[in-house]
Amino acid sequence: MRQVLHLHAGFHKTGSTAIQGYLFHNPLGSDHSYFHNNNPNSSLIILQAFRQNLADYQQFQHENFTPEDVLRIQKTARNRIAEIIQEIDKTHTILSAESIGILNPAEHLKLYEFFKKYYKEIHVYIYIRTIKSRIESAYQEILKTRYRSLQQPFPVSFKKSIGGFDQAFGKNRVHVCKFSKAEFAGGDVVNHFLGQLGIARQDGQHSKDNTALSFPAIQLLYIYRTFFPTPVGGDNERIERLGSLPGAAMHFHSDLFEKLLSQDSGDTQWLEDRAGFSVTEDIEAYNDSAIRSERELTAISRESVRWLKEQQPDFRSRLRIRRGNLRSIAHGVRCLADAP
């Protein structure tokens, strides 16, 4: 009965959570079934089944796995995947996992060899943001977990990542799409993804992305990470409260973007030739309001300081916060986890 596997390799900040949520919670018709291990996102089980060095990832860093441990984990995960597949009785299976996008070419080949035992045809779907938007979003996500200087470049290699998919699955079965809300029906990537697979949407709603922090909130988060560079208890609550601070989005000036981008010569052109769309058209789009340096991340406005004081749990905490004292601002952000 099973014929075709559709692998959604969720690249960074391209609506993967929304796609997974829809597929997990809604009927997909008589021909399609959603692969899951009781979770909308299959990233963990894919990592366990196919990643050679699990210690590369935060959730495994303290496990001290031996090579034998990794082999045991891989075997267990692959057996579980096989069990789930055997329970599927529809022609088309959909599997979505961000971790597919970070496997290396050799691991992609292992993934392909495993799944081709169960499916006659395998297709891969990848969404790509413009490069500057991707770096801006990645920097924000990193600050949520740790400090990172704006002097540290971001390596980007489309030829290595997309080319690895092409080699393992075949170029004609790797579908690379531009992540552009303006080009999606209703501005919703879920609609676009379902359309590629010929699935009619059932809920009639539009999906919401994970909300990005405003530039004022990122400024406060950056100062917090300067003094508290590694994860501590309550960080998720702090970030959630920062999400209520209004303001415009953060953008990097084109000059800063050029310094941050670490890329092999010709890599962007390779992608644009391969995919048939541009990923560089917004490089100078926000230069009038964009930041050029880390110094601008610490230029906190009076409005932001006022907001931070209003969030404090007591009068004494408010008095400690002074606009010209970055340490006091960092401690004010730290107190957000304790504020009512």
Q: What is the largest CA-CA distance in the chain?
A: 68
Which CATH number is 4-197 given?
3.40.50
291 phi, psi to nearest 5 deg: -90, 150
pTM beyond 0.85 = yes
Q: What is the pLDDT along the chain (340 residues), one digit of tens a residue?
A: 689 999 999 887 899 999 999 999 999 999 999 999 999 999 999 999 999 887 666 666 667 778 888 889 999 999 999 999 999 999 999 999 999 998 999 999 999 999 999 999 999 999 999 999 999 999 999 999 999 999 999 998 899 889 999 999 999 999 999 999 888 988 899 999 999 999 999 876 666 656 689 999 999 999 999 999 998 889 999 999 999 999 999 999 999 999 999 988 899 999 999 999 999 988 999 999 999 999 999 999 999 999 999 999 888 889 899 998 999 999 999 999 975 5
Q: Is 236 exposed, middle or buried (0-12, 13-18, 19+ CB in 10 A)?
A: exposed
d(CA 335, CA 50): 41
Q: How far is CA 23 from CA 27, 34, 70, 137, in A?
A: 8, 6, 30, 25
Taking the alpha carbons at both ends of the chain, their separation in whole angstroms is 55
d(CA 131, CA 314): 43
Tokens 């997990």 appear where? 24
Q: Where are the domains of the chain?
A: 4-197, 213-248+300-340
